[in-house]
Structures are given as C-alpha cells and as structure tokens.
Amino acid sequence: MIGIIGAMDTEVARLKELMTEVEIVKASSMEFYKGILHGADAVVVRAGVGKVNAACCTQALLDRWPVSCVINTGIAGSLRAEIDIGDIVLASDAVEHDMDVSALGYPPGKIPDMDAASFAADETLRRIAKESCEKVNPDIHVYEGRVVTGDQFISSKEKKAWLVETFGGFCAEMEGAAIAHTAYLNGTPFLIVRAISDKADDSAKMDYPTFEAKAIEHSVRLIEEMAGRLASWKK
C-alpha cells in the first residue's frame, strides 16, 4: 500500500477521480481516500498548506494504514535557471529552510538534537519516479536535487538567492520536508515529487495561477504511472 499526500485539493483531486473501490475515512479533520490506483492499494489525502498540516497528516496516515512508502506530490517554485516551469524535481533530500537556531551556533536548517541535518529520499522510489516521468512526460525535464521547505511563499530574488547559496536548493515549497521529517522518524521510505509552477522570484505571483494547472497535470501523470509500478510493494 502506498500513501500519497498533496497540500491542496487541486494536487490530489484528479488522483481521487482515478481511484476505484474507494472508502473515505475521516480522521484528524482530513478525508483519506483508500482504494485502488492504477492497480496499487493506495491512500490519497489532502493535507492542507504548511509544515504542521503536512506533518499531522503524515502521522495520521502512518498510524492508520500499513503503507510501504509515502509520496508527496505537488507544485513548487524553481530555484535554478535551468529548471523551467512545468519541469519536475524529484527530491534527493529535503531540508527545513526556516529552522533557524543559528544564535546558538547551529547552521541554518539544522534541528537541534537530531542526527539528520536533512532527510534523504528513498533512492529506489526516485529511480522509479524518474523512469515513470520520462515515459509519461517526454516533453519536460526531470531533475534530482534538494527540496527546501518553509512556511513561506518565496517571491523575491533575494530570498531565492539565499536558499540556493545556503542550502543548494533546487526548488522551494511549503510541505515536503515536514512529510520527510515525519516519515524519517517512523522509518518509512518517502519521495517528494514537485512540478514547477513558478520561478520563486518577483514574477511568482503572476506565474503561479497561470501555470499551476499544467504543472499539476505533469505530476498526476507521473504519480499514476508510478502507482502501477509500485503495486507489488509490501511493507
């Protein structure tokens, strides 16, 4: 069984439509859609925006179902010139860029008393996602790199530059590292899949509503193909 988490209705609505044998379970003020997606047992849920919503959703999912992996799908802002709107970023790892205890000597993003400075995504899931994307989205590029997460919509060149210089980020969003953090604590493999909706700079406010739908279309095709390939996964 695979768990699929999106932040917004637009990120998971199409996946819910594609499911069969659906059972809706309400928990933690969220609706979890349990059923079959492209041959795989799956639970699909909208977490809500931001790190706390994402972490609560992930833990509720893991407490109730024996999922073999967690996939976080959604959209993000590109932090690199070569990563265009519509392209896909697959997380190599994730870091919480708004975690800042630097006044006590910790580097930005480091969570005190935790061994991990970032949370590494599962390599097998990333390989399957890359192969899936290249098959169903041949007109775009797929990148593998660090996803940076914070409770902020990045829309300035200065902040964008800081995220690249400080963390080496490939894209910025608001949930991925919180899901990764929770999956890490539970020992569950995870992957963050992000379709690029904007450039995370002064143009972001204009780009986001225009390109959101196209970016989501790319991620939905990828997740659907990936689900079929993961149908045999067991926990």
The residues assigned a catalytic role are 11, 198
Please name the helix (run of DSSP H) or strand (run of DSSP E) that holds residue 17, with its range, or none: helix 9-18
Residue of 224, 214, 228, 230 lying closest to 75 (CA atoms): 214
Residue of 114, 88, 131, 93 lying closest to 229 (CA atoms): 131
* Cα–Cα distances in angstroms (integers) from residue 143 to residues 16, 101, 146, 195, 231, in the given order: 26, 30, 10, 10, 24
* Cα–Cα distances in angstroms (integers) from residue 117 to residues 91, 111, 114, 138, 172, in the given order: 15, 7, 7, 34, 17
What whole-number distance in Å separates Cα of residue 42 and Cα of residue 105? 43
| DSSP assigned state of 104 | G
Taking each helix axis as running N to C, give the angle between helix 204-229 and helix 9-18, from 0 to 180 degrees, rounded to the nearest 10: 30
Tell me the DSSP string of 194-210.
Answer: EEEEE-SSTTHHHHHHH
What whole-number distance in Å separates Cα of residue 137 and Cα of residue 230? 18
* Both tokens assigned to 155: 């829309």
Instruction: Name the residue with tokens 């992930």.
Output: 58
What whole-number distance in Å separates Cα of residue 183 and Cα of residue 181? 6
